[in-house]
């Protein structure tokens, strides 16, 4: 029983320390990538149902991420130049 707390706490502590080194926008994008990978695994590997609502919502979320990311990418390019 005590081992469960350690198994839960250690990855969270490592993530929290690593997150301090990243920009908040990067962490935000990573927070979308992880659930997307889980979603794709559920649908493609485990055969979970993929209905009309999911078919509409899934691309809209990624379109919003692209729109959000474009100014950030432009800003990074301008700093590099």
C-alpha to C-alpha distances, 46 to 35, 39, 41, 52, nearest whole angstrom: 15, 10, 7, 18
Q: What is the pLDDT along the chain (81 residues), one digit of tens a residue?
A: 778 989 999 999 998 999 899 888 788 878 878 888 888 899 999 999 999 998 998 899 889 888 988 888 888 888 877
- Residue 64's pLDDT is 86
Distance CA 51, CA 72 (A): 33
pTM surpassing 0.85?
A: no
């Amino acid at each position: 029983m005590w081992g469960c707390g350690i198994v839960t706490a250690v990855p969270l502590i490592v993530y929290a320390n690593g997150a301090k080194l990243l920009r908040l926008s990067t962490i935000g994008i990573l927070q979308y990538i992880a659930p997307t990978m889980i979603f794709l695994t559920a649908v493609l590997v485990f055969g979970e149902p993929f209905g009309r609502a999911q078919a509409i919502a899934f691309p809209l979320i990624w379109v919003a991420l692209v729109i959000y990311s474009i100014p950030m990418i432009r800003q990074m390019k301008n700093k590099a130049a």
